[in-house]
């Protein structure tokens, strides 16, 4: 981690995100390796070094919030200060400030059992912030909030984090959340770090198929390499239809190999099928034909399932105009520079 950044752990259920947070804060001991914080080894089994949680200056919001039911909101938030021996005016002020930061000042006296899921998450956040930790560990902190509140909390977290200068490790399942709040994202898979980079790096240059498919949406088509040489690769998709891709292919890929071509939905331009139909794909641009199978209106666009003439189905974005109908014939334009060729993991 870098000081003062928001680092997000992103990955499928069971990949080890919570375990990583618990190891950082000292609720798990590591079996091998070491945890170093600010130049100091805080957990290293080989050296028998271990700094306990309450001496690590880290706050954590647990996936299950862990709000104490027998205390009211104020006392829940005050707890970390009480165990650190803080009381009196200082405690009162710190708790009030923390509650204000998450918008709960008006319900400080409410019993914890009478809180909504979203309010419990806010209490947990206030409790993690109250002793001004230098690292804040957040395990799916907004998963229980409605979409609007979640968007608002994301922006607030970023503001709060910049203001306090605290380093944040955030765990989320939500790709949009990961892409929008993180300075860097660590994609995990089966207990391993698969790729670490900025949101833009991961989105534009995913290193592996699972990063590609986990960070943002991807349209994937299957084909066979028809021409190979330099940057331009021609991939035959079925019948006479082909795609030209710029940017080359992995070195392991040869002529006649089965490959995947991948493109982000926003790079596919969908139009009504003109007459006469466009000429087939060439180095200058790619065209595919298809039919709208289902249309979902999502406000700023339509999300459509398209049955392509090549016999494959894709999900694409259509502009939010009223001319679309299910069953309609359409034409897809794809720029060669937006398409990437991948080795087909299932081929062979």
Q: Which parts of this chain interact with ligand ATP (CB under 6 A)?
A: 13-19, 63
The residue whose two tokens read 């706050």 is 59
Which C-beta is closer to ligand ATP: that of 14 or that of 250? 14
Which C-beta is closer to ligand ATP: that of 27 or that of 220? 27
122 binds, among Mg ion, ligand ATP, none (CB under 5 to 8 A by kind): none
CB of 65 to Mg ion, least distance (A): 13
215 binds, among Mg ion, ligand ATP, none (CB under 5 to 8 A by kind): none
CA-wise closest residue to 316 among 347, 345, 339, 293: 293
DSSP string for residues in 24-70: HHTSS--SSS-EEETTEEEEEGGGTEE--GGGS-EEEE-TT----TT
Sign of the C-alpha dihedral, residues 125, 126, 128, 132?
Answer: positive
C-alpha–C-alpha distance, residues 58 and 128, integer Å: 8
19 binds, among Mg ion, ligand ATP, none (CB under 5 to 8 A by kind): ligand ATP
Which C-beta is closer to Mg ion: that of 12 or that of 87? 12
Taking a C-beta distance cutoff of 8 angstroms, is the pair 332, 269 a contact? yes
CB of 263 to ligand ATP, least distance (A): 28
Which C-beta is closer to ligand ATP: that of 16 or that of 103? 16
CB of 79 to ligand ATP, least distance (A): 24
Cα-flanking dihedrals φ and ψ of residue 136, to 5°? -115, 125
Count CA atoms closer than 13 A to 36's CA, side-chain side.
7
251 binds, among ligand ATP, Mg ion, none (CB under 5 to 8 A by kind): none
Taking a C-beta distance cutoff of 8 angstroms, is the pair 311, 331 a contact? no
CB of 47 to ligand ATP, least distance (A): 23
CB of 98 to ligand ATP, least distance (A): 26
């Amino acid at each position: 981690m870098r000081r003062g950044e928001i680092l997000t752990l992103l990955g499928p259920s069971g990949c080890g995100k919570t375990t990583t947070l618990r190891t950082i804060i000292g609720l798990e001991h590591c079996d091998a390796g070491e945890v170093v914080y600010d130049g100091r080894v805080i957990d290293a089994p080989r050296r028998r070094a271990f700094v306990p949680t309450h001496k690590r200056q880290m706050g954590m919001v647990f996936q299950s919030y862990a709000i104490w039911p027998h205390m009211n909101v104020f006392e829940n938030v005050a707890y970390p200060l009480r165990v650190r021996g803080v009381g009196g005016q200082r405690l009162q002020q710190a708790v009030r400030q923390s509650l204000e930061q998450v918008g709960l000042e008006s319900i400080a006296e409410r019993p914890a059992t009478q809180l909504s899921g979203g309010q419990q998450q806010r209490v947990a956040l206030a409790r993690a912030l109250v002793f001004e930790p230098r690292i804040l560990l957040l395990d799916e902190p907004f998963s229980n909030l409605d979409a609007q509140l979640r968007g608002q909390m994301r922006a607030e977290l970023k503001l709060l984090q910049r203001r306090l200068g605290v380093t944040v490790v955030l765990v989320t399942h939500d790709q949009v959340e990961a892409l929008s709040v993180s300075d860097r994202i660590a994609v995990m898979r089966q207990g391993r770090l698969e790729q670490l980079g900025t949101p833009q790096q991961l989105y534009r240059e995913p290193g592996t198929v699972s990063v590609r498919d986990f960070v943002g949406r991807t349209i994937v088509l299957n084909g066979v390499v028809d021409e190979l040489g330099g940057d331009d690769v021609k991939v035959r998709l079925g019948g006479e239809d082909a795609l030209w891709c710029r940017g080359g292919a992995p070195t392991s890929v040869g002529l006649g190999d089965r490959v995947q071509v991948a493109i982000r939905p926003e790079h596919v331009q969908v139009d009504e099928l003109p007459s006469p139909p466009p000429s087939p794909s060439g180095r200058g641009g790619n065209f595919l034909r298809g039919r709208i199978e289902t249309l979902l209106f999502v406000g700023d666009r339509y999300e459509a399932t398209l049955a392509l003439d090549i016999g494959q189905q894709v999900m694409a974005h259509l502009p939010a105009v009223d001319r679309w109908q299910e069953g309609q014939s359409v034409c897809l334009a794809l720029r060669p520079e937006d398409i990437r060729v991948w080795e087909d993991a299932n081929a062979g």
